[in-house]
Copies of this chain bind each other. A is one copy, B any other.
């Protein structure tokens, strides 16, 4: 990749169609925050909204808030906002629980649709909690399911007629490697398998089209690119053709057909609503709801274009400056999410040295340093400066390890 001149970088910022969006966030000028793929920054509208929710909706309305402020509909209302970003039809996404809990629900539901097949196929680049949840479900069910893990690039060849569910995270949290969701979903369907995609590092990071890709089930996270706040609730997706055919394994009262009939016998609600379990977490759901408004007038294609350009600028600058680092992310943008990772033996020290200098990235053992790029609030100049500072930090770490 050819390096950009400072004039070109300035021009990129000037012509950036998303440049006004930065002002929607609380951005400290002392920090370059390349960790929005761990925890998104605070949207400026959230503090006032939270105060309203706490003091007026809860404080004044009390129990009447459930009807007066539409608390009961938050899971589907916020779900539909997210659905808009991931090519999901209205009524196919709800917000509830955590990503891990939602994965459990959908994996159990999917396995029940393929009772004779015993393989859950995933890859070694999946985020550990997805694999842990699958292991726990396998052990709970005691029906001889196998969780089969292969390397990320060996997935397609491993899909066969033994596979019940292909369960993958679209973007590898360490390397940023991005699966071809549509192609792998097609291959899985050809083999009679179902697909369950984790969109933790996809949603809000680039355009996703679950409908076009014919994905069966998906989950995702509210606190990364969606900026919903630490531990924000997660979401889940069920394709229309599977709705009303799946039984929720976590059959709580909020997923009942008529929760306020207080029936002793569970009857699942129609559609996606049956995957609700307990009382919706109104405070954190409201923060996520408000945070999502930033996306209301954003074209996800603009996001993607800028994300690719930010990543490429970073790669070219870092490779020119820091010979010690080895690119761990795909060089080809089509095979990469919105993050760039490098390998470095002293990655943990390097991330600390960067943090002292106001650049926030993540270390992932054993040797990965990763940087997330969030087109809504990063400028090209941020990325250029981060590379400069990375060069300084490496020089310091190199001295220390001598």
Please tell me which one of the listed residues B63, B97, B265 contacts residue A97 in the complex, with CB atoms under 8 A apart: B97
Q: Least Cβ distance of A364 to chain B in Å?
A: 6
Q: For A46, what are the chain B residues with a Cβ–Cβ distance below 8 Å?
A: 54
Q: For A285, what are the chain B residues with a Cβ–Cβ distance below 8 Å?
A: 231
Q: Mark A26-66, 1 if CB is under 8 A from B, else 0.
A: 10100101010011011000110011001101111011111
Q: Least Cβ distance of A84 to chain B in Å?
A: 23
Bound Cα distance A285, B261 (Å) = 29
Residue pair B62, A360 in contact (C-beta under 8 Å) = yes
Bound Cα distance A31, B124 (Å) = 57
Size bin of chain A's contact surface: 35 or more
**A253 interface hit (Cβ, 8 Å):** yes
Residue pair B35, A253 in contact (C-beta under 8 Å) = no
Q: For A135, what are the chain B residues with a Cβ–Cβ distance below 8 Å?
A: 251, 265-266
**A278 interface hit (Cβ, 8 Å):** yes
Bound Cα distance A337, B149 (Å) = 52
Given contacts A98-B97, A100-B252, A133-B250, whether A54 and B62 have CB atoms under 8 Å apart is no
Q: For A124, what are the chain B residues with a Cβ–Cβ distance below 8 Å?
A: 264
Stretch from A136-144, A157-165, A180-188 contacting the other chain: A136-144
Bound Cα distance A54, B288 (Å) = 12
Residue pair A54, B47 in contact (C-beta under 8 Å) = yes
Write the chain B residue with the least CB distance to A288.
B283
Given contacts A41-B59, A42-B55, whether A71 and B140 have CB atoms under 8 Å apart is no
Residue pair A97, B101 in contact (C-beta under 8 Å) = yes
**A281 interface hit (Cβ, 8 Å):** yes
Q: Least Cβ distance of A30 to chain B in Å?
A: 10
Please tell me which one of the listed residues B129, B143, B253 contacts residue A100 in the complex, with CB atoms under 8 A apart: B253
| Residues 128-157 of A at the B interface (beta carbon under 8 Å) | 128-129, 131-133, 135-137, 139-143, 149
Write the chain B residue with the least CB distance to A282.
B230
Bound Cα distance A124, B120 (Å) = 38
Please tell me which one of the listed residues B39, B51, B263, B280 contacts residue A62 in the complex, with CB atoms under 8 A apart: B39
**A104 interface hit (Cβ, 8 Å):** yes
**A249 interface hit (Cβ, 8 Å):** yes
Residue pair A230, B71 in contact (C-beta under 8 Å) = yes
Q: For A128, what are the chain B residues with a Cβ–Cβ distance below 8 Å?
A: 253, 256, 259, 262-264, 266
Please tell me which one of the listed residues B31, B38, B97 contacts residue A278 in the complex, with CB atoms under 8 A apart: B97
Residue pair A101, B140 in contact (C-beta under 8 Å) = no
Bound Cα distance A42, B58 (Å) = 7
Residue pair B50, A54 in contact (C-beta under 8 Å) = yes
**A277 interface hit (Cβ, 8 Å):** yes
Q: Least Cβ distance of A104 to chain B in Å?
A: 6
Bound Cα distance A280, B297 (Å) = 30
Residue pair B33, A62 in contact (C-beta under 8 Å) = yes
Bound Cα distance A252, B142 (Å) = 18
Q: Mark A63-85, 1 if CB is under 8 A from B, else 0.
A: 11110000100000000000000
Residue pair A41, B62 in contact (C-beta under 8 Å) = yes
Please tell me which one of the listed residues B60, B251, B263 contacts residue A133 in the complex, with CB atoms under 8 A apart: B251
Residue pair A250, B58 in contact (C-beta under 8 Å) = no
Write the chain B residue with the least CB distance to A262.
B128
Q: Which residues of A contact B (CB under 8 A)?
A: 26, 28, 31, 33, 35, 38-39, 41-42, 46-47, 50-51, 54-55, 57-60, 62-66, 71, 97-101, 104, 108, 124, 127-129, 131-133, 135-137, 139-143, 149, 223, 229-234, 247-254, 256, 259-266, 277-285, 287, 355, 360, 362, 364-365
- Identify 28 residue pairs between A and B in the complex whose beta-carbon atoms are under 8 Å apart, listed by A's number: A28-B60, A33-B62, A35-B63, A41-B62, A42-B58, A42-B59, A46-B54, A47-B51, A47-B59, A50-B50, A64-B355, A66-B230, A99-B278, A100-B254, A101-B277, A127-B253, A128-B259, A131-B266, A132-B252, A133-B252, A136-B248, A142-B143, A223-B279, A230-B280, A231-B280, A231-B282, A231-B285, A234-B278
